């Protein structure tokens, strides 16, 4: 067991809590419909790599979000989808509809595809991590699971100073790009 001195623990807490950023705090969009990334209300966007034109109304009833509780709650707060569920809820629904033989697992892309084919239409919102040129990038992806086509992909470089991916520098810009796509911009 590793002992942590009180000084290091206090320093860690100050670094985590200090400054002007937050980490893992889901918020509702402001009056502009976006998530503010700066103190003056600006809504920065992440780089959008893919933004396919699609009939998003077919996905409005249900989104499956695979990620942390923060990511799931933030998608809920966008208010676009009628229902936002995680993998555990999808598994529960598959069992309730007695589809276990057709969808034995949803732990990979093929399982997610089977869930969409047999359970019903949904948009799969998930994250991906990618490294290139010694830098780490977080990708925010929306996939049509019926054909595994990535309809939307935005990415943001993970910054290690002063926060490892604070909401304002990493997550909110990714969500703002996603909001643009949902609005057809």
The secondary structure element, H or E, covering residue 123 is strand 123-132
With CA atoms as reference, report the closest residue to 56 among 149, 170, 144, 162: 144
114, 95 contact by CB (below 8 A) = no
Angle at 179 between CA 145 and CA 120, to 5 degrees: 25
Per-domain boundaries in the chain: 21-182
Contacts of 184 (CB under 8 A, 6+ apart): 53, 56
130, 155 contact by CB (below 8 A) = yes
CATH architecture observed for domain 21-182: 3-Layer(aba) Sandwich (3.40)
Residue 141, phi then psi, degrees to nearest 5: -125, 140
Give pTM, 2 decimals: 0.84
164, 171 contact by CB (below 8 A) = no
pLDDT, one tens digit per residue, over 136-167 is 999 999 999 999 999 999 999 987 655 555 88
pLDDT, one tens digit per residue, over 98-146 is 999 999 999 999 999 999 999 999 999 999 999 999 999 999 999 999 9
């Amino acid at each position: 067991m590793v002992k942590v001195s009180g000084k290091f623990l206090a320093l860690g807490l100050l670094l985590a809590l200090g400054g002007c950023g937050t980490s893992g705090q889901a918020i509702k969009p402001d009056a502009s419909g976006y998530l503010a990334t700066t103190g003056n209300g600006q809504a920065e966007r992440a780089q959008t790599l893919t933004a396919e034109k699609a009939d998003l109304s077919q996905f409005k009833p249900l989104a499956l979000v695979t990620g942390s509780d923060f990511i799931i709650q933030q998608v809920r707060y966008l208010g676009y989808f009628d229902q936002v569920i995680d993998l555990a809820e999808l598994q529960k629904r598959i069992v309730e509809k007695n589809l276990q033989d057709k969808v034995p697992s949803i732990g990979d892309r093929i399982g997610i595809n089977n869930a969409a084919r047999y359970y019903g239409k949904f948009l799969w919102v998930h994250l991906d991590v990618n490294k290139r040129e010694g830098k780490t990038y977080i990708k925010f992806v929306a996939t049509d699971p019926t054909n595994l086509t990535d309809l939307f992909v935005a990415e943001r470089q993970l910054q290690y100073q002063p926060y490892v991916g604070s909401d304002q520098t990493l997550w909110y810009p990714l969500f703002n790009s996603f909001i643009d796509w949902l609005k057809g911009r």
